[in-house]
């Protein structure tokens, strides 16, 4: 069996930047998981004494707080500043872009439509920048737009890890009913590259292994795309979840990884596959 890595996979710019920032501040705490990869978070904890807190109440006085790549709600950032914590902002620049757009467009009197998962930390942060939260709406499907009390002027942004074709469906539905639409394509380029590379590889592979956090939106997207072209596609967090049965009678094993997956985990998976099968890489 042969193993082939996708031409683009793994850490994106924002994640690399966040990890470098965290490593420069030993003994700090991250407010929420820095990235969606528990193995990398454990590495930061063990090697750099980077703690993790999930609420403002957990933070000790005078803590150095690293803001996660996905960002946090605006009001929580204000509360952190009021408590005199030292704040290190590791929010991905591709995430601060929709935050700024939402703030500016809402101040100009536009209704805000955000294409994304309402429970995702990135979207919780983005929507909080709207001037009027009752005039900001989070949707996943075009049908959800039908009952929304939107103004004639609408600004629309997307979660950075969503698929462009799905974002286009939201935009098309809005164009049919609103007088003025301002469309901001806030999907990350790294997402495009990883998704396209995973699709290309899945078309020729007879088994695909997608590596990344089970709660990572972009990793789940990769798995969905791979499975569309290769039915035997599996999502794992690390090498311990590999099953030898997946590789039986396979000739080409394709591998891709989410934007929060470090290369050391990818290499561990490759090593484990080598133990299971006679392979070439």
151/154 Cα distance (integer angstroms): 7
Segments forming the whole domain that contains residue 111: 94-183
Q: Within a 10 A sphere around the Cβ of 142, how many other Cβ atoms?
A: 16
| Letter string b/e over residues 103-127, b meaning 16 or more CB atoms within 10 A of that residue's CB | bebbeeebbbbbbbbeebbbbbbbb
3-state SS of the chain is CEEEECCCCCCCHHHHHHHHHHHCCCCCEEECCCCCCHHHHHHHHHHHCCEEECCHHHCCCCCEEEECCCCCCHHHHHHHHHCCCEEEECCCHHHHHHHHHHHHHHHCCCEEEEECCCCCHHHHHHHCCCCCHHHEEEECCHHHHCCCCCCCEEEEEECCCCCHHHHHHHHHHHHCCCCEEEECCCCCHHHHHHHHHHHHHHCCCCEEEEECCCCCHHHHHHHHHHHHHCCCEEEECCHHHCCHHHHCCCCEEEEEECCCCCHHHHHHHHHHHHHHCCCEC
The domain total for the chain is: 3
Domain limit, last residue, from 148, 183, 218: 183
Per-residue pLDDT of the chain (281 residues; tens, 9 = 90+): 999 999 999 998 999 999 999 999 999 999 999 998 999 999 999 999 999 999 988 888 889 999 999 999 999 999 998 888 899 999 999 999 999 999 999 999 999 999 999 999 999 999 999 999 999 999 999 999 999 999 999 999 999 988 889 999 999 999 999 989 999 999 988 888 999 999 999 999 999 999 999 888 889 989 999 999 999 999 999 999 999 999 999 999 999 999 999 999 999 999 999 988 766 65
**Residues 85 and 102 both lie in one domain:** no
Residue 281 lies in a domain: no
Domain limit, last residue, from 91, 121, 149: 91
**Residues 195 and 270 both lie in one domain:** yes
Residue 137 lies in a domain: yes
Domain limit, last residue, from 183, 205, 232: 183
**Residues 100 and 145 both lie in one domain:** yes
Residue 176 lies in a domain: yes
103/106 Cα distance (integer angstroms): 5
Residue 22 lies in a domain: yes
**Residues 62 and 98 both lie in one domain:** no
Q: What is the pLDDT of residue 278?
A: 66
**Residues 104 and 176 both lie in one domain:** yes
**Residues 240 and 178 both lie in one domain:** no
243 is catalytic: no
Residue 157 lies in a domain: yes
**Residues 76 and 103 both lie in one domain:** no
Q: What is the pLDDT of residue 192?
A: 84
127/63 Cα distance (integer angstroms): 27
Q: What is the pLDDT of residue 281?
A: 57
Residue 38: give its domain's CATH number.
Answer: 3.40.50.11270
226/207 Cα distance (integer angstroms): 9
**Residues 126 and 163 both lie in one domain:** yes
pTM of the model: 0.85
Q: What is the pLDDT of residue 60?
A: 87
* Catalytically annotated residue among 40, 122, 237, 239: 122
Q: Which strand ranges, in their side-by-side order, compose the sheet holding 111-115?
A: 136-139, 111-115, 153-158, 180-183
**Residues 145 and 68 both lie in one domain:** no
Residue 226: give its domain's CATH number.
Answer: 3.40.1010.20
**Residues 87 and 100 both lie in one domain:** no
Q: What is the pLDDT of residue 279?
A: 63
Tell me the per-residue pLDDT of 21-41, one tens digit each, with 9 for 90 and over.
Answer: 999 999 999 999 999 899 999
**Residues 136 and 72 both lie in one domain:** no
**Residues 87 and 104 both lie in one domain:** no
């Amino acid at each position: 069996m042969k193993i082939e890595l996708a031409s683009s996979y793994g850490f994106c710019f924002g994640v690399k930047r966040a990890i470098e920032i965290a490593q420069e501040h030993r003994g700090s705490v991250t407010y929420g998981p820095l990235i969606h990869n528990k193995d990398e978070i454990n590495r930061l904890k063990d090697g750099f004494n980077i703690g993790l807190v999930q609420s403002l109440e957990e933070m000790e006085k005078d803590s150095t707080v690293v803001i996660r790549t996905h960002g946090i709600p605006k009001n929580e950032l204000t509360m952190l500043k009021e408590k005199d914590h030292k704040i290190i902002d590791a929010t991905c620049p591709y995430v601060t872009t929709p935050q700024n757009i939402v703030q500016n467009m809402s101040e100009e009197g536009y209704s805000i439509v955000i294409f994304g998962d309402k429970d995702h930390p990135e979207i919780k942060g983005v929507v909080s920048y709207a001037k009027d939260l009752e005039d900001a709406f989070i949707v996943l499907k075009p049908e959800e737009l039908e009952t929304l009390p939107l103004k004639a002027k609408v600004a629309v942004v997307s979660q950075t890890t969503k698929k462009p074709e799905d974002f286009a469906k939201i935009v098309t539905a809005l164009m049919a009913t609103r007088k003025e639409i301002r469309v901001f394509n806030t999907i990350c380029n790294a997402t495009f590259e990883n998704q396209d590379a995973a699709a290309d590889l899945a078309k020729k592979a007879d088994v695909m292994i997608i590596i990344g956090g089970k709660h990572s939106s972009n990793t789940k997207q990769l798995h969905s795309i791979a499975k569309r072209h290769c039915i035997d596609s599996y999502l794992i967090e690390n090498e311990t979840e590999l099953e030898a049965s997946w590789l039986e009678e396979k000739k080409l094993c394709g591998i891709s990884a989410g934007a929060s997956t470090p290369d050391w985990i990818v290499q561990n998976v490759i090593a484990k596959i080598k133990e299971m099968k006679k392979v070439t890489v």
